[in-house]
Copies of this chain bind each other. A is one copy, B any other.
């Protein structure tokens, strides 16, 4: 997928986020915001969890994929969409395509977990299997595009996808006024860029901090140096956050994000278990990353109203991290 620096015009605006909200309104779930008096007492703050684990296909990814699919012209849509993904984006795009009634192809590594393959094919997409390397995935996707002339929807470095993810923040701010701080996990930066854009447009006084696993800290290093640095052999339990921050994503993050902090895997596992045990909801490791920053005392939240995005709930129940 392309990697050139975007022009100003290619970055999504708040208008694009509002248009996305309109476009996906009939399809995406307006997820609930949940609170927990136990966790509030534990951290001395008021915490508001935006539950994208309850979103269609189990993660916020459906918003961006849905916005991209329903942004296509009739002509483009007819030819279908494609992406490469070993995770939530593939299933999200497959479902969005099914809702519009158009073909979808997902390039997946041959060794992807069966449950992920089942989700993608369950939503009616065609899977093209490839070797488990990024190069093989990109080559296979190029080949698919050359053969079928489908529209590629990148998992995060795509303005329509970023605008779609921003709708998470629109709903959160509507439901919870006067937030002091909003926290997101960060991997490729689709969620963080969209949420930061919407938060700072709608509620400029609200702080915006992204939280990243120590073992995949390219976004943090890029943010500190001002230069987009790639992930090198990332390793973390938060398997949704292994990717490097995208070009468009980084441009928006530099403009709108106040800080990026890192957490270690034991804190992520502890935070994940806290959510499961205290809130009785399933979240995947990546979704517990913002709360891990509180567990590790990396962000001062005492007495503050803090919104946190629980990004997804797709977890293999046979392989829990404790």
Contact = CB atoms under 8 A, between A and B. Distances in A.
Interface of A: 32, 53-54, 58, 273, 276-277, 280-283, 313, 317-318, 320, 322
A281 B58 CA distance: 12
Please provide the 5 A-B residue pairs with the shortest distance between their CB atoms, ordered closest to farther.
Answer: A280-B313, A280-B282, A53-B280, A281-B281, A54-B280
List the number of copies, as a whole number. 2
Contacts of A54: 280
B322 A318 contact: yes
A70 to B, nearest CB: 19
A271 to B, nearest CB: 14
Nearest to A280: B313
A276 B32 contact: no
A32 B32 CA distance: 10
19 contacts: A32-B32, A53-B280, A54-B280, A58-B280, A273-B317, A276-B282, A276-B317, A277-B317, A280-B281, A280-B282, A280-B283, A280-B313, A281-B281, A281-B282, A282-B282, A317-B320, A317-B322, A318-B322, A320-B320
A280 B310 CA distance: 12
Contacts of A276: 282, 317
Contacts of A32: 32
Contacts of A322: 317-318
A54 to B, nearest CB: 6
Nearest to A52: B280
A53 to B, nearest CB: 5
A68 B53 CA distance: 36
Nearest to A54: B280
A322 B54 CA distance: 23
Contacts of A58: 280
A113 to B, nearest CB: 13
A176 to B, nearest CB: 17
Given A54-B280, A281-B282, A320-B320, 6 more contacts: A58-B280, A280-B282, A282-B282, A317-B320, A317-B322, A318-B322
A32 B281 CA distance: 13
